[in-house]
Structure formats: C-alpha cells, structure tokens
C-alpha cells in the first residue's frame, strides 16, 4: 500500500508518496481501506513542527472514513464491509490503516462517504465549542473567527441551530459571501486585531457573549475586548501560539478557556454519542459540510499548500 510520509519536518515539499508494507490489525484493531481523508490545519502543524505523536518519520493525517476489510483478535462489534469513520487516528493519509476498533463510529445511512470522511474532526470541535465550552442559547451573540473556514462554517451553523446570532470574522472580502451563506448575521473583514469597536457597535455596546477564537496570538487581545462582562473567550487550536498574560490582564471579568476536543469525547460512550449528534444534524439538514477541494491522496502536498495559502474555504478531502 501507499501513504503520505515525511522523513523530516518542513513545508509541503517534504511530503512523499511512499510504498509501505500493508498493515496487519493486532488484537482489538481492524483493517480499514480508506474511502476519504479530511485535511485539517492540525495536519500542516504536524508536518511543519512535529509535536507529541508526530515526530518524523511519520505518516500524516488524522481524520477519515473507510470500509472494514479484516478484524483483529477480540473484535466482535464490527463486521467486514462496515462503513466507519474516525475523528483522530495518526497516519490517516494511507490507503490501508490498522485502527483500534474503539476509535471508530458507524457511518449512518444518509451520510455520504465524502461527508463522513471530512466531518468529525471539525464537526466534533464545533459541537464541543457550542455546547460544553459555551452552551449557546437563544439570543446569545457569538463571534466566530475564520467564519468561512472549515470549523467556522460548521460552528456558525450550530450557533444558529441553537438560537444564537453570529458575527463572523474573515480575512478577505471574497470570503464574506461564504460566511453569510452558512448563516452569519454580520461579517467583518479583518487582518489581525482591531475589530473590537465594531463588535461593540453591533451589540449595542454590550459586547459578545462568547468569542470562538482560532485566529492565533494576533487576535487574542481584540477577542477579549469584544466580550461582555463575564463573557467567554474560547481560544482553540493546537498550533496557534500561546500569548503571555497575567490574570489581571483579563478585562471585564471574562472567562478564558482552551477547549480541547479530546475532552469532549473522552470515553467510547462520549465519542459514539457526540458523533451521533453531529451525524444527526447532517441528516436533518441543519448542518452542511461544504466540500470545496478534492485531491488524489498522492497529491496531499498540493492540498497542504492550498490550505496554507488561505485561498481555500470549507473542507478539503484526499481521495485514494
């Protein structure tokens, strides 16, 4: 089988289409033939910087769906031919994967292979942010960074489905229609910080209830100044950098949190329940995954280059 492997960390040029031995599922594992793999910003960070579990040499990718082709010892809940998806399994840019059976969820009827392959990483993140991180209720106002991006589009839809309103932030004028298409009530074009005054105008001086900030250190302070007293600054994403601050730097008694999606699905039961919630939203039409780029798995480096250029919106997929 072939996979996208790196021997050293760096730009997209370090990604290689590499022939490797077919994996053999061990006890508690299953063998999966890849149907579609999602591309995430986390993948570009793993490629460029490494980090726990991502030290080179390594096969990239963490999200996808596929079909079971063999069962390891002790696996009883799955059958060959089952359609399954996972939100985090290192090494997902591969034609074949040996995956722990407990990491998989069943793809329900009514959800396509492509949607299932690109939904769970960003869908579970958006679900986490809009429920446990800050449970959006009717009348709440949320600021969503990168509202035309993968997480941003899903998060905007979930905030709207729960009765909230959205002020979306985008980096370029041509991304404004995308954010509005998925339901943003207002869309601001910004580069870096400096948007807090406009958000206060849009909230009649009160400030937003929550800011979902995947924008990085450049937007950190403006996000906090955009909040009402006791509002929540949800600063998420593993490769954004961590600003230095003292507790006394926090304005308006705001609450600062660093939500990690793994805490949302900490147990097998949580994973099945939360993935089921996201799949149900898709099947009911309340949540749409907008797939805007499809690449052959062998051309994953081109997908990374396009994603990092900020030219893309929505979800990118790799197809074997």
Q: What is the CATH number of the domain that holds 86?
A: 3.90.180.10
Question: 162 and 101, same structural domain?
Answer: no
* Residue 238: predicted pLDDT: 56
157 neighbors 286 (Cβ within 8 angstroms): yes
Is residue 93 one of the residues assigned to a domain?
yes
Specify the CATH number for the domain of residue 196: 3.40.50.720
* Residue 310: predicted pLDDT: 76
Is residue 275 one of the residues assigned to a domain?
no
Question: 152 and 50, same structural domain?
Answer: no
Question: 234 and 156, same structural domain?
Answer: yes
- Strand boundaries in the chain, DSSP class E: 2-6, 15-19, 29-39, 58-59, 63-71, 83-86, 96-100, 105-106, 141-144, 165-170, 186-189, 208-213, 227-235, 255-257, 291-296, 315-319
Q: Which of 268, 263, 287 lies closest to 277 in space, CA to CA?
A: 287
* Residue 311: predicted pLDDT: 76
Is residue 280 one of the residues assigned to a domain?
no
Question: 139 and 238, same structural domain?
Answer: yes
Is residue 270 one of the residues assigned to a domain?
no
Give kind and range of the element (H or E) at residue 223: helix 220-225
Question: SS3 of 297, please?
Answer: helix
Domain that holds residue 187: 122-261
Question: 135 and 98, same structural domain?
Answer: no
Q: What is the pTM of this model?
A: 0.94
Is residue 83 one of the residues assigned to a domain?
yes
Residue 102 to residue 271: CA distance in whole angstroms: 9
Is residue 137 one of the residues assigned to a domain?
yes
**Encoded tokens for 51:** 């980090």
123 neighbors 289 (Cβ within 8 angstroms): yes
* Residue 9: predicted pLDDT: 98
Question: 226 and 193, same structural domain?
Answer: yes
End-to-end CA distance of the chain: 11
Residue 262 to residue 315: CA distance in whole angstroms: 21
Is residue 141 one of the residues assigned to a domain?
yes
Question: 213 and 96, same structural domain?
Answer: no
Question: 303 and 243, same structural domain?
Answer: no
Is residue 212 one of the residues assigned to a domain?
yes
Question: 257 and 126, same structural domain?
Answer: yes
Domain end, chosen from 217, 241, 261, is at: 261
> Using alpha carbons only, what angle is made at residue 63 by residues 310 and 210, rounded to the nearest 5 degrees?
60
Question: 257 and 224, same structural domain?
Answer: yes
Question: 164 and 218, same structural domain?
Answer: yes
**With left for phi above 0 and alpha for psi between -120 and 50, is residue 63 left, alpha or beta?**
beta
Question: 201 and 138, same structural domain?
Answer: yes
How many folded domains does the chain comprise? Answer: 2
Regions of the chain short of the pLDDT cut 70:
238-241
């Amino acid at each position: 089988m072939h996979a996208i492997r790196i021997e050293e960390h760096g730009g997209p040029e370090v990604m290689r289409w590499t022939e490797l031995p077919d994996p053999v599922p061990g006890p508690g594992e299953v063998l999966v033939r890849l149907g579609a793999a999602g591309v995430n910003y986390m993948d570009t960070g793993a490629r460029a910087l490494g980090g726990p579990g991502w030290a080179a040499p390594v096969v990239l990718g963490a999200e996808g769906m596929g079909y079971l082709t063999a069962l390891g010892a002790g696996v009883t809940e799955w059958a060959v031919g089952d359609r399954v998806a996972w939100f985090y399994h290192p090494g997902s840019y591969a034609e074949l994967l040996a995956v722990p059976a407990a990491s998989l969820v069943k793809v329900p009827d009514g959800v396509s292979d492509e949607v299932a392959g690109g939904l769970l990483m960003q869908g579970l993140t958006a679900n986490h942010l809009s429920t446990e991180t800050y449970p959006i209720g009717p009348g709440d106002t949320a600021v969503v960074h990168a509202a035309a991006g993968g997480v941003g589009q899903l998060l905007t839809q979930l905030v709207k489905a729960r009765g909230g309103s959205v002020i979306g932030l985008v980096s370029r004028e041509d991304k404004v229609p995308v954010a509005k298409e998925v339901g943003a009530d207002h869309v601001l074009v910004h580069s870096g910080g400096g948007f807090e005054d406009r958000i206060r105008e849009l909230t009649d001086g009160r400030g937003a209830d929550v800011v979902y900030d995947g924008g990085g250190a450049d937007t950190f302070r403006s996000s906090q100044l955009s909040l009402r007293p006791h509002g929540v600054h949800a600063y998420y994403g593993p490769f954004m950098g961590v600003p230095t601050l003292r507790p006394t730097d926090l304005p308006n008694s705001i609450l600062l949190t660093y939500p990690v999606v793994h805490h949302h699905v900490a147990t097998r039961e949580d994973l099945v329940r939360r993935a089921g919630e996201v799949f149900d939203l898709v099947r009911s039409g309340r949540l749409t995954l907008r797939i805007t780029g499809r690449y052959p798995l062998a051309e994953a480096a081109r997908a990374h280059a396009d994603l990092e250029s900020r030219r893309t919106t929505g979800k990118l997929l790799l197809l074997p």
